[in-house]
Structure 1
Amino acid sequence: MMFNWLSLITGLFYIVLGGVVIYYKFFFTVLEPTVAYAMGGLLMLYGIFRIYRAISKIKNTENEK
């Protein structure tokens, strides 16, 4: 159960990290704008995926009880 909540927090972290990469165009090195937008977008999509997966697992766990 705790893993699902940590997955939610991690998903939020990825979304914020994607926004930071897009805004500052930096991820361990200076990025070209197109690379920064692509990488930031992928990080945000992965964060959304993790949040969706965590929420579905939390709902399934509650339904089993």
Structure 2
Amino acid sequence: MMFNWLSLVTGLFYIVLGIVVIVYKFFLTVLEPAVAYPLGAVLILYGLFRIYRAVSRIKDSGNEK
């Protein structure tokens, strides 16, 4: 159960990181806009996927009880 909540927090972290990459165009080095936007979008999408997966697992574990 703790893993599901940790996955939810990690998903939020990826979304914030994606927004930071898009806004500041920086990820370990200065990025060109042509690289920063797709990388930020991928990070945001992955964060949304992790949140979706965590929420679905939390709901499934609630139905088992």
Q: Same fold (TM over 0.5)?
A: yes
Name structure 1 gaps, 5 residues minimum: none
Alignment partner, residue 61 of structure 2? 61
* Identical-residue share of aligned pairs (%): 75
TM-score after normalising by structure 2: 0.99
Q: Which runs of 4+ in 1 moved over 3 A?
A: none
Amino acid at match of 2:12: L
Per-residue deviation at 1:40?
0.2
Per-residue deviation at 1:64?
0.5
TM-score after normalising by structure 1: 0.99
Alignment partner, residue 8 of structure 1? 8
Name structure 2 gaps, 5 residues minimum: none
Alignment partner, residue 41 of structure 2? 41
